Amino acid sequence: MSSNADVFPVSETTLTLTNYPNPFQQSTTLSYQTQGGYALIQIFSTEGKLIKTLLDKEVSPGNHKITFENEGYAPGIYYARLQNNNQQITRTMLLGR
């Protein structure tokens, strides 16, 4: 019997998600980095309501950009969530008046 404990690799996220400008009024550009494969970017309200799906497709590895347009949404805090394969990351965004 071995005295060494089993070692399980820890999966570190390689995802990044930023937006500029933040706060924004008319639109904001989300910049994201993925490992490639299936990617999903969704915008949620503070209540957890899905506001919009910006991306829902296979993407190549690397850096990408996509724009979120204000389509008459109420000012306040919104969350952008990027899911890529089995990882996810969330970014807080502020929609100003």
Query: What DSSP designation does 23 have?
Result: S
d(CA 21, CA 92): 12
Task: State CA 9 to chain mean position distance.
Answer: 24
Domain spans in the chain, listed from the N-terminal domain onward? 16-95
pLDDT by residue (tens digit) across 34-70?
Answer: 999 999 999 999 999 999 999 999 999 999 999 999 9
Provide the pLDDT for residue 72: 94
What is the CATH number that goes with domain 16-95? 2.60.40.2550
Provide the pLDDT for residue 97: 85
- At 25, the pLDDT band (50, 70, 90 cuts) reads very high
